[in-house]
Amino acid sequence: MWEKIYKSILAIFIFLWIGFTFMDYWQNHLQYLLAIKFFQYTDLTVLLILLGGAMWWFYHNKIQARSLNRYPWFNGLSVFLLSTLVIMLSVYMFQRKVMNIGLPIPFDFLHLVINIFKIGLYTYFVLLSCYAMGMYTLGTFRFRMGESARPILALGTGIMVWVFLMFGLGLFALLKWYILLPLMLLIILITRKVSFRFIWNTLFEPIPLDFRLNWLGALSFYVLLIVVSLNFIQLIIPMPKGWDSVSLYLNLSSLVNDYSGLVKGHQPYNWSLFMALGFILFEKTEVAMALSSVGGFLSIFALYYLCRDWLKINVNYSLLCVLLFYLLPTISHQSYLDLKIDLGLLFIMLVIVILLVEWWKYLASGEERAVEVSRRYVILLGLFTGFALGVKLTALIAFFSVAGAIWFVYSGRVAFLAVFCLSTFAVLLFRLDDIPKLRQFHLGAEAFMWTMLVLGVLLFIWSARKEKHRFWHPMRLSVLYGCFFLLPVLPWLTKNYMETGGELSTRGLMYGKTQAPKANVTTFEKKWERMRAKEKRQRRQKKGK
Amino acid sequence: MYFRNMIKFSKHIIFKIGLICLLVLGTFTAAQPSYAESFQQKTEQTQQQKKKQQQKRKQQKNKKQRQNKAQKNKQKQAQEKKKAKQDAEKNAPIKSSPIREEIQRYMGYEPILAERYITIPYDISMNTNMQGGFVDIGYFIFMFLPVIFLLGFVRRPLYGFSIMVFSILLLSISTSSSFSVKRGIEAENIPPNIDTFINAVKFSDYPVSVTCAKVYKGLHKIYMPIYRGMENISGKRDYVTYPILASLFVLFFFILQKRLHQMDKYKKSIINFLYLFSFIWLILACGIIWYGYLMLVLGLAIVVAALTNNGQQSWIRRGTLGMFVASALIWIVIGYVYRISNHRPVTPDSAKLLFDIPSVKYQTGVFDRKDVVNTLLPGAEKALEEINEDENALVYRVGTFFPYLIYKNDKRVLQDNQLGFFQNLIQKIPHPISLAEALKASGYRYILVDLNTPSIDKTPEKSLQRKFMSFMVFLFGNDKLELLATDRVITLTPPDDPNPIYTHGVFGNIHNPGTYAIYKVK
């Protein structure tokens, strides 16, 4: 009886909550209403539905009905060709509506296709070299991981290693195409088997099909393909349009190319260095922009892996989840309008989560070499977190969170809470809340900071006393994690330290010193007074003459 | 069964509440040393009084009473002084700064500090502080987060009810606070404001808005007592927001562990990872969503997993899954339509612009890079050529996209997007001509201005708008400055002239507001 009443209340609450949230969202986002009201592309949508419907019919009747788990013509290359077709249809419909072009002009479309293939190929080459470098590095350190996680981890590792190399070369102004290109070709040659396998798997190998794929999964895949295609074609422009990309991130990449080396000042800019490959290797803004956006594209695969392998979501809902993510306007915006580095950072963060998942898998399997495996995972986790910090300083959040996860697994809740207290202490100690100028509002922040330290230490002591044998192992791992976390950040810190002439402040170490003109009011005033005095003197001299 | 559960629950909760109380009390006591000091003073004073009483009990009865009174008055005055000092600290005017204008706008400028943090989850979902595709994260996380908690507590009513109560409290604070901040009204004036709206429009015309307004009104009743309580302990500045947030973290950590009790510790650890990540993001990121994309992605995955992965399918779960799929399909439709409108469906014509014309012309080989730049930044080409000719000339920049097109811009361009430096400069050198001379004396030859700079200003004091106005006064009619290029179009003829004459200019009757202006310092 009571249970039924409770369940009814629960159901009513859920219904009302979902209903109200939806209505509130709707009335706060009238742009969607306008988008539906003024929708201009019914013809394009009908064409796309017909194309999608034909594919679904083919899949349902020719592949699923015959219980085939692979179809020779369904591979990466054919998906790319389909994507090109979607782009061509969209561009033509746009030309018809806005540019008053009746029939498609073959030469224009030939140019368009060449552009798509060219930029696609350049970006693919960079990714291939990253994969090759990643596989080489992981192989060298005999790093073990699951088959499905391997490509994502290899790509992440490859990007990280290339950026380290570029940093080194950048110090000596050696970021030239004739240095980087042979290096990339060399690594592809060294790992030729792996590289060839990558090319084969991504372009020619039939994509494995899941029998449980239904209309929801197929629809999600198809809409995802349309959105990715539209985002991709909008990257083929000679100048970025977004505020942050123009004034900071792509500007930095462009300056790196201009100087063939590092740019002074700024917070660490790992992803801008990676994006600079587009300028250095191919002299193409489009490729640099594609490399900015590629973080989002790679995140699709990382998220799909997490849905399938970690959360065990079925194929249809996994595809739906990926689509829901990629359709979010904030993600779309950064994928083609304002090309920043946050999608790159997201990919690196997802790699960190994947590493945790893979590590836990090993621990759960109860292997004998768990300690050794753990060390390797911790080292890689530290390197990736440090690398992420070099992409954006906000990645520091991930550092504390990973430490929390490690302590939770080894020592449980109390230790996790201790990490929480100490993280809050560290945030306040280094005045990280003062960067967005929030500290001024918190009057007792100092006292709160010390309370958190005391609580954190007490909780750690309690945790250690409770289970001594479970305390020292995560402690050792945390120290190892911290050391390797610092490793990728150290070059940036050293660079900034040298630029500021030995300044040891958090700001100095994190931001360095730019070469921009100084904004000093007193200097301005002095120079102005000097100029006036000079002018007066000149006037007097003229009068004297 | 439920009674037993309740006892079990209360046993568990004693420890957790103890921990939270320790956290709150410890911090609160440490944060306000005045309590401890005053207690100590009081004890000392009573001891002194006792000694005096023993020595002069009979003779100085009257005198003692007078002394006591005087001491009490002194104490009162001292306490009042301290309180006044604290109040003054709390209510001291907040200085405007570029970071307050640029970064804190994402968080909102609620007058009560604790609310600024507590309302972040709602604000980032409903975009109450900042509007536009770049900050739009959809409705899934806010919609389904409490729901997946509740689905885990189908057999634990106490936890279930706590989640429901907390969700309603959060919603009441968020909706009321956002309503008052958006309209610039006091919390007390929300109901009359809503009534005016409801009376002015028909339900049949705006069913969604009227329904929401009615819910807001209901939620406001819950909000008012909370608001009054918060007003007493919080303000623009306070001692309690951090302890409150930390306590909420600990409380929900334990509830989260209850929700995850069926999972192995490995899965739990990653969810706890995300939980800690979200907390630190909340206190550090000012509600800027791209600093926390990871929460968005993993949050979505966890929501989908919680709704779809389960052995036994109860009717509540099936119903919720149905609502999820329906809302996902609606999202696919609106997401697709919005994407095809290229994020700008303001008019039927703008909704046609799936692509930009110059971009398509470039992709199809009709335009080269120069043509595209000329089309995107009309009229700027010559000015940019001039700026790039003299590599030693410094450039003073208030916004704009141009630095990307300026050679060695990292060495030549002084960035003053929120006019913080200009504000300081004009206080020292108030005369516009002198200021232009001062710029020239420091090597500045060009000024780049984004004419839409004040549009980002969301501060209650409108500090950026004021600074920009004074900057425009500096530019207006300044003999030492020469306008090189602008895409703003002004009318030279009176507004009702049948044959209007247009020209490019910054000041005058604006025909097309444009985006930029480039000046040369003569």
Tens of pLDDT, residues A167-209: 999 999 999 999 999 999 999 999 999 999 999 999 999 998 8
Residue B105: DSSP 8-state: G
Q: What is the pLDDT of residue B91?
A: 65
Name residue B98's amino acid: P
Chains A, B: CB contacts under 8 A, how many?
A: 487
Quick check: B16 pLDDT over 60?
no
The shortest C-alpha distance from A146 to chain B (Å) reads 16
Is residue A534 within a helix (H) or strand (E), and if so which, with residue range?
helix A521-544
Q: Using CB atoms, which residue from B23, B142, B285 is nearest to A455?
A: B23
Q: Report chain B's mean pLDDT, rounded to a whole number.
A: 86
* Residue A109 near chain B (CB below 8 Å): yes
DSSP per-residue letters across A370-430: HHHHHHHHHHHHHHHHHHHHHH-GGGHHHHHHHHHHHHHHHH-HHHHHHHHHHHHHHHHHT
Contacts of A433 in chain B (CB under 8 A): 283-284
Structure tokens at B6: 């309740």
Residue of chain B with shortest Cα separation from A263: B410
Are A330 and B266 a contacting pair at CB < 8 A? no
The rounded radius of gyration (Å) of the Cα atoms in chain A is 28
Are B134 and A338 a contacting pair at CB < 8 A? yes
Q: What is the pLDDT of residue B36?
A: 37
The shortest C-alpha distance from A179 to chain B (Å) reads 23
Quick check: A545 pLDDT over 60?
yes
Are A25 and B126 a contacting pair at CB < 8 A? yes
Quick check: A144 pLDDT over 50?
yes
Q: What is the pLDDT of residue B364?
A: 93
Residue of chain A with shortest Cα separation from B278: A397
Q: What is the pLDDT of residues A219-235, one digit of tens each?
A: 999 999 999 999 999 99
Q: What is the pLDDT of residue B86?
A: 66
Q: What is the pLDDT of residues A404-428, one digit of tens each?
A: 999 999 999 999 999 999 999 999 9
d(CA A228, CA B243): 44
Give the least confident one: A36-40, A144-148, B187-191.
A144-148
d(CA B476, CA A432): 41
Contact between residue B143 and residue A17 where contact means Cβ atoms under 8 Å apart:
yes
Contacts of A361 in chain B (CB under 8 A): 266
Is residue A362 within a helix (H) or strand (E), and if so which, with residue range?
helix A342-364
Query: For residue A141, is it left (φ>0), alpha (ψ between -120 and 50) or beta?
Result: alpha
Question: Hey, of B137, B338, B346, B367, which one would you mutate to test binding to chain A, going by the most A CBs within 10 A of its CB?
Answer: B338
Angle between helices B61-91 and B33-55 (to 10 degrees): 170
SS percent in chain B: helix, strand, coil, step 5 = 65, 5, 25
Quick check: B350 pLDDT over 80?
yes
d(CA B355, CA A237): 11
d(CA B238, CA A445): 9
| Averaged pLDDT, A233-248 | 91
- Between CA A502 and CA A510, with CA A508 as vertex, the angle to 5 degrees is 125
d(CA A333, CA A293): 10
Q: What is the pLDDT of residue B40?
A: 44
Strand pairing class (B502-504; B489-491): antiparallel
Beta strands in B171-303 (DSSP E): none
d(CA B497, CA B490): 14
Are B89 and A519 a contacting pair at CB < 8 A? no
Q: What is the pLDDT of residue A424?
A: 96
Are A24 and B408 a contacting pair at CB < 8 A? no
Give the model's confidence band at B273: pLDDT under 50 very low, under 70 low, under 90 confident, else very high: very high
Question: Hey, of A15, A105, A428, A451, which one would you mutate to test binding to chain B, going by the most B CBs within 10 A of its CB?
Answer: A451
Contact between residue A187 and residue A136 where contact means Cβ atoms under 8 Å apart:
yes
Residue B285: DSSP 8-state: S
**What's this model's pTM, rounded to 2 decimal places?**
0.89
Give the burial class of A56: count Cβ atoms within 10 A of its Cβ; 0-12 exposed, 13-18 middle, 19 or more buried. Answer: middle
Are A230 and B336 a contacting pair at CB < 8 A? no
* Residue A474 near chain B (CB below 8 Å): no
Contact between residue B337 and residue A36 where contact means Cβ atoms under 8 Å apart:
yes
d(CA A349, CA B278): 14
The shortest C-alpha distance from B449 to chain A (Å) reads 14
d(CA B425, CA B185): 35
What is the side-by-side strand order in the sheet with B394-398?
B413-415, B394-398, B444-450, B516-521, B481-486
Structure tokens at B118: 């507590």
The residue among A481, A495, A516 whose CA lies nearest residue A267 is: A495
What percent of chain B is modeled with pLDDT above 90?
58
| Averaged pLDDT, A63-76 | 84
Are B369 and A363 a contacting pair at CB < 8 A? no
Contacts of B300 in chain A (CB under 8 A): 321, 324-325
Q: What is the pLDDT of residues B25-58, one digit of tens each?
A: 444 444 443 433 443 444 455 566 666 777 777 7
Are A34 and B351 a contacting pair at CB < 8 A? yes
Contact between residue A399 and residue A485 where contact means Cβ atoms under 8 Å apart:
yes
Q: Using CB atoms, which residue from B308, B343, B358 is nearest to A337?
A: B343
The four Cα atoms A269, A273, A276, A277 give a dihedral, to 10 degrees, of -160
Q: What is the pLDDT of residues B97-143, one digit of tens each?
A: 788 888 888 888 888 999 999 999 999 999 998 888 999 999 999 99
Structure tokens at B517: 């202006």
Contact between residue A54 and residue A218 where contact means Cβ atoms under 8 Å apart:
no
* Residue A342 near chain B (CB below 8 Å): yes
What percent of chain A is modeled with pLDDT above 90?
74
Chain A from 353 to 392: CB within 8 A of any B CB: 353, 356-357, 360-361, 363-364, 392
d(CA B267, CA A262): 41
Residue of chain B with shortest Cα separation from A455: B23
Question: Hey, of A324, A345, A384, A422, which one would you mutate to test binding to chain B, going by the most B CBs within 10 A of its CB?
Answer: A324
Contacts of A227 in chain B (CB under 8 A): 336, 339
d(CA A379, CA A389): 15
Task: Give the number of other Cβ atoms within 10 Å of residue B503's Cβ.
Answer: 11
Is residue B396 within a helix (H) or strand (E), and if so which, with residue range?
strand B394-398
Structure tokens at B93: 């005017």
Q: What is the pLDDT of residue A370?
A: 78
Q: What is the pLDDT of residues A79-88, one digit of tens each?
A: 999 999 999 9
Distance, CA of B426 to chain centre: 29
Q: Locate the domains of chain B by residue range.
A: 1-87, 99-300, 378-521
Q: Report chain A's mean pLDDT, rounded to a whole number.
A: 93
* Residue A267 near chain B (CB below 8 Å): no
Contacts of B441 in chain A (CB under 8 A): 524, 527-528, 530-531
Are B401 and A243 a contacting pair at CB < 8 A? yes
Q: What is the pLDDT of residue B1?
A: 45
Instruction: Write phi, then psi, for A261 (nearest 5 degrees).
Output: -160, -170
Contacts of A9 in chain B (CB under 8 A): 164
Give the burial class of B397: count Cβ atoms within 10 A of its Cβ; 0-12 exposed, 13-18 middle, 19 or more buried. Answer: buried
Q: Using CB atoms, which residue from B22, B99, B128 is nearest to A437?
A: B99
Q: Using CB atoms, which residue from A3, A44, A444 is nearest to B31?
A: A444
